[in-house]
Chains A and B, each alone.
Chain A
């Protein structure tokens, strides 16, 4: 990679003037990018990695932004360039792909029309018909089946993976020299992620495309990056070839980041085998959602088989991990188990007692025995209530205690989950994502439940925070003898915490067994596919695996 750099960034600084003073989002970032090279910019949320990339193409448009430094594209300075100049660069010379392909397409235009728009913005001499033909060709290149028809689909008619392929097709419409991919696979399922990464790698190889890959996921980095830039609080803390950064990181932050990754292939801490009676037994549970349409009276035309005959059991004190991709029915299953949704049929026994079909009233005393922790710690805490009130609410609702007693109990809970008693009077927005998840856990703990259903409890969190929350959950399990039903899409995380794993696919459990067995000797084809798709944050392993797949 000794070619002339295509992009050359020097001492880039981006600050945002806020009421509390200047916030330096990007603080002196420099790097070069050569044609055909994949540069990964790695960092956690708020590290400035996205702002860096957006600033290069002039998309940091906020009025309070203070931008300094230099970013050159083939010798042409982009910082401070005119809007007209930047418009020519965007799309034409630098293509961009964003995180969420659902929201990144305009929902009211057809996919093809949006690609045509990108082409015609730069090539006035190309007719609509020619541009459309080109769009079909591009969609075909990125692997959209039946492209000549799908070109007229609307974004919502595509699956997540297809949308991201289309997004890549659009970014490549004018054969740019540089592709900036900002968390391109973060919103996707792991099997789809593997396909998109393969596609990006292929395009990079075929077109000698210089790629800037922005991600928080070290597994993704190990799969396709040539060089790595690690960012932390706006600064580059580590830079180097892929292997150097992974195997001999110089910076303590990089080391902690690498250490925090929960690896699928690393043997998790040994857990004693749990024997004993079942706390929760689920048999043949079914929950379908009818799709209704009709003239005067709605009748059912189809049904979504969200949970389609699921059986499993969880022993007292054990953790059952439930893995599945989006749409597999795992969240519906959680809700049906807790009777937050009435199941269509099947049985749910808690401590030997049938709870499926119990009335709201009859369920009420049982609610204290089983609690839930939600995925999104931002949406699941009422922003207008104080943290103490949120944590104490279950106690209040169950008529447990009152006044000062409540306050004391809430403060003790906050202390127990690693927050402090002074946090009682604060509001949720004053906390970080990880702290909010601790609040959610404290709330779930308030009634000393026997069973906690954790629905994707760490998937919205940064890697380093993730490990802390998993440790907290493990510690609480030991101290309170909790039983967990741990639901996640990330089989690596699930393996790390679970005694046994159940794999869910299209409303059914396709495989169930001890964690090691499911992860190392899977018997089901879908489980195998799922495991093979998980990126391994280890460049050598990743290369070895690619070669096996390539030669197979």
Chain B
């Protein structure tokens, strides 16, 4: 376990370094991205631009600029070009909204994904299975932006059943918190419920033909026990892998669109604004934030895998 953790930490450092260098380079080759120019405003004098360039060190060699920026991210005093606010503080402020969105959506998508997948598999070929299949395929195919627009239009603007925009702190009012998040949760979860139920269904249908399922029946177990303890249990292993990857990716950036559409003041919305303004410091910090979670959840998946499947050994080279 110690060896595994060390190895993974090493990998994480490498990934974060590569991602940050890439982001930094991409930003610096984009045309018309001179931050001094945009900070100085539309009708700035060349002197003002020059002094901003001087003050912020935009003339320094790129490696030095990179190192300065990374140093500031990790010491927590990185300042954005637009609005000149502390980037790390802004991200920390956005975390509750982002986590509320992602964790809530994850609970919904795992619950319904597993439930629908299980029902489909147990009733394979039946009416319920066919209905769930249609729903799942529809869910997978619906674009998030379309779904969000439809939900907002009918359930928020037209009928006023749900609030259209905004985020309420959980500590402030838990009911209102959930009320504001229902539509965003649903938006994120729909595609994944469809996907997970399909994957689980096919895993379970494969597992049903395994010899150990026949053994379970030969022992005299009831059909429900056979299905849950043997078929479902073993079929969930790949689902856990999938979940870790999807959840990491969701926190690491997939939530941007949803946060923007529902006006949730989270890390994703901040990312959206920063990209719009070509504001490098927050972009760098948010990219690292996202990459961190992707790598973290990859490692957690491996740990979970070794826990769920005793044949898998952590950190062996066969991985």
Contact = CB atoms under 8 A, between A and B. Distances in A.
A179 to B, nearest CB: 11
Interface in B157-212: 210-212
B215 A57 contact: no
A87 B221 contact: yes
Contacts of A293: 315-317
B234 A295 contact: no
A292 interface: yes
Interface in B294-319: 308-311, 315-317
A122 interface: yes
B218 A100 contact: no
Nearest to B6: A295
Nearest to B313: A293
Interface string B214-248: 11111111110100011001100100000000000
A42 B316 CA distance: 45
A122 B220 contact: yes
B46 interface: no
In this complex, the member of A83, A104, A292 whose beta carbon has the largest number of chain B beta carbons within 10 angstroms is: A104
Given A121-B225, A154-B310, A296-B6, A90 B219 contact: yes
A118 B220 contact: yes
B130 interface: no
Contacts of A57: 218
A91 B317 contact: no
Given A83-B223, A106-B230, A295 B218 contact: no
A40 to B, nearest CB: 20
A59 B214 contact: yes
B222 A87 contact: yes
B90 interface: no
Interface in A39-66: 57, 59
A106 B311 contact: no
Interface residues of B, number: 30
A296 B13 CA distance: 14
A500 B317 CA distance: 41
B229 A117 contact: yes
B61 interface: no
Contacts, number: 87
Given A108-B234, A108-B308, A295-B6, A59 B218 contact: yes
Interface centre among A89, A90, A156 (most CB of B within 10 A): A90
Contact of A104 (B212, B225, B315, B316): B212
Interface string A134-163: 000000000000000000001010000000
B311 A296 contact: no
A131 interface: no
Nearest to B2: A295
B4 to A, nearest CB: 9
Contacts of A100: 211
Contact of B311 (A98, A118, A154, A170): A154
A298 interface: yes
Given A107-B309, A295-B3, A298-B317, A121 B212 contact: no
A224 interface: no
Contacts of B310: 107-108, 154, 156
Contacts of B218: 57, 59, 90-91, 95-96, 98, 171
For B217, B218, B221, B237, the residue with the greatest tally of chain A CB atoms inside 10 Å of its CB is B218
A292 B210 CA distance: 31
Interface string A497-523: 000000000000000000000000000
A308 interface: no
Interface in A287-320: 292-296, 298
B220 A88 contact: yes
B94 to A, nearest CB: 35
Contacts of A295: 3, 6-7
A103 B317 contact: no
A70 to B, nearest CB: 21
B218 to A, nearest CB: 4
A105 interface: yes
A213 to B, nearest CB: 16
15 contacts: A91-B218, A91-B219, A91-B220, A98-B211, A98-B214, A98-B218, A103-B210, A104-B215, A107-B234, A117-B219, A118-B219, A121-B225, A156-B311, A296-B6, A296-B10
Interface of B: 3, 6-7, 10, 210-212, 214-223, 225, 229-230, 233-234, 237, 308-311, 315-317
Given A107-B212, A108-B310, A117-B216, 16 more contacts: A87-B221, A92-B220, A100-B211, A103-B212, A104-B211, A106-B230, A107-B234, A107-B309, A108-B234, A118-B219, A121-B220, A122-B220, A156-B310, A170-B219, A171-B218, A294-B3
